[in-house]
Amino acid sequence: MRTPIYLDYNATTPVDDRVLDAMLPFFREHFGNASSEHSFGWTADEAVKQARERTAKLIGATPRTLFFTSGATESVSLAIRGAGDIYGGRRHRIVTVQTEHRAVLATCEAMEREGYETTYLPVGTDGLVDLDALEAALNEETFLVSVMWANNETGVVQPIPEIAERAHRAGALMMTDATQAAGKLPISVNHDGVDLLALSAHKLYGPKGVGALYVRQRGPRVRLAPQVTGGGQEEGLRGGTLNVPGIVGLGMAAQIARRAQADDAERLEALRDRFEAAVCAAVPGTAVNGAGAPRLPNTTSLRFEGARAAQLLPVLHDVAASAGSACHAHTDEPSHVLTAMGLTPEQARATVRFSLGRPTTEAEVDVAAEHVAESVHLVRRRAAA
Ligand SMILES: Cc1ncc(COP(=O)(O)O)c(C=O)c1O
């Protein structure tokens, strides 16, 4: 078995061999610019078209509703800022949630400095949005509701169709950051009532630096103002030469994810439950954050009484896991997600996120569970000494 055992697939995933194989020709023989009017350009454009179809299909959308970006952070920013520029005149309020990814929170905070208002909804101890609080927050000033589909730290899955229904009743658009959900859960933008959806290739065995934004085109047609202007690419919504190899990679990753989703989910959930059970049995004083809510099949957020993640992770060198999210890896700030769920800062600091992926094996989770147990015991002994 290769060590360290990688259990940080929510941070990023390796590129699937089939994805890489699909991408490589677009760095070399098919290097054309998708905007060029000659055979090199047409080949690239054809490949982008196919990738758009494949990516759209992953979320039950049509190709013309899908726009390529540099990743979920940009998709989120384009959706929220782009909607603000169009709809934010009369309505200037965004309703979002305290446990959102920084991509959403930082965008909202920046927009507040420009005069927008944001309501950050609380969550229960299970991490779920309180639908009554949502209803109370919605009014005729709200142009956008932004709620992530699944949380990157805890895996908690929000009831998106119910939230969308309430958003629409108030006349607001429904936006969701589906970065962690895409490929892990079945998604159908029409069935689920989503108007804007952000996703990223590197969370689903595609390359880094490429993502997509779904923008509803019918019932209603959602309009966004471009945030990167340029050569009119992506219907003028996002300027800049298309990242053809990356887009091809996203398309292939999306196709594989769509076909594998149900099997992956079943297998990973069983492995995740096995891992959780093994750790909880071997380490008294372990709690599963978000255990009471629907969760992503691959994610577990474990809290070890009396053992700080910052001390645990260096000891746990044979397992690659994360304290909170990858973007908070270098701070000692307790996770805003966990404190919003009612954990004390100390409890939040005692939490480690383990996220499994397609390559994860039963042997890996068994060995990882043993390492985790040994490491927690060691950290606790040191703390007591
Ligand atoms: C929920 C969520 N939203 C947004 C992002 C940002 O994605 P990207 O790295 O593609 O910008 C991430 C990844 O860290 C995420 O987990």
Sequence ranges of the domains in the chain: 5-12+261-384, 17-256
What is the distance, to the nearest Å, from the Cα of residue 102 to the centroid of all Cα atoms in its chain?
11
pLDDT at 327: 52
φ, ψ at 132 (rounded to 5°)? -70, -40
HSE, side-chain direction, 13 A CA sphere, residue 206: 35
Query: Cβ of 126: how many Cβ atoms within 10 Å?
Result: 16
Residue in 200, 298, 335 to alter for ligand 1 test, most ligand atoms within 8 A of Cβ: 200
End-to-end CA distance of the chain: 34
Residue in 203, 204, 298 to alter for ligand 1 test, most ligand atoms within 8 A of Cβ: 203
| CATH of segment(s) 17-256 | 3.40.640.10
CB distance 103 to ligand 1 below 6 Å: yes
- The atom number, within ligand 1, closest to the CA of 71 reads 10
CB distance 8 to ligand 1 below 6 Å: no
Token pair listed for 156: 């908690």
CB distance 173 to ligand 1 below 6 Å: no
Distance 72 CA to ligand 1 centre (A): 5
pLDDT at 57: 98
Which residue owns the Cα nearest ligand 1 atom 7? 72
pLDDT at 328: 55
Query: Cβ of 141: how many Cβ atoms within 10 Å?
Result: 16
What average pLDDT values come out for the chain (385 residues) when binned by 10 residues? 95 98 98 98 98 98 98 98 94 96 98 96 97 96 98 98 98 98 98 98 98 97 96 95 98 98 98 98 98 97 96 95 68 90 96 98 98 97 89
Distance 101 CA to ligand 1 centre (A): 7
pLDDT at 2: 87
CB distance 179 to ligand 1 below 6 Å: yes
Residues 62, 202: Cα–Cα separation, whole Å: 22
Instruction: Please write the tens of the pLDDT for every residue from 272-294.
Output: 999 999 999 999 999 999 999 99
CB distance 316 to ligand 1 below 6 Å: no
Prediction pTM value:
0.97
CB distance 200 to ligand 1 below 6 Å: yes
Query: Cβ of 377: how many Cβ atoms within 10 Å?
Result: 15
Distance 378 CA to ligand 1 centre (A): 33
CB distance 176 to ligand 1 below 6 Å: no
- Show the 3-state SS of the chain: CCCCEECECCCCCCCCHHHHHHHHHHCCCCCCCCCCCCHHHHHHHHHHHHHHHHHHHHCCCCHHHEEEECCHHHHHHHHHHHHHHHHCCCCCEEEEECCCCHHHHHHHHHHHCCCCEEEEECECCCCCECHHHHHHHCCCCEEEEECCCECCCCCEECCHHHHHHHHHHCCCEEEEECCCCECCECCCHHHHCCCEEEEEHHHCCCCCCCEEEEECCCCCCCCCCCCECCCCCHHHCECCCCCHHHHHHHHHHHHHHHHHHHHHHHHHHHHHHHHHHHHHHHCCCEEECCCCCCECCCEEEEEECCCCHHHHHHHCCCEECECCCHHHCCCCCCCHHHHHCCCCHHHHHCEEEEECCCCCCHHHHHHHHHHHHHHHHHHHHHHHC
Residues 117, 94: Cα–Cα separation, whole Å: 6
Distance 259 CA to ligand 1 centre (A): 23
pLDDT at 345: 95
Distance 68 CA to ligand 1 centre (A): 15
Distance 102 CA to ligand 1 centre (A): 8
pLDDT at 302: 98
Residue in 152, 250, 299 to alter for ligand 1 test, most ligand atoms within 8 A of Cβ: 152
In contact, 128 and 151? CB cutoff 8 Å: no
pLDDT at 89: 87
Amino acid at position 272, single letter: R
Distance 10 CA to ligand 1 centre (A): 9
> Which residues are part of the catalytic machinery?
327
CB distance 73 to ligand 1 below 6 Å: yes
CB distance 99 to ligand 1 below 6 Å: no
Which residue owns the Cα nearest ligand 1 atom 15? 179
Residues 333, 343: Cα–Cα separation, whole Å: 13
CB distance 177 to ligand 1 below 6 Å: yes
Does 5-12+261-384 match 17-256 in CATH topology? no
Say whether domain 5-12+261-384 belongs to CATH 3.90.1150.10: yes
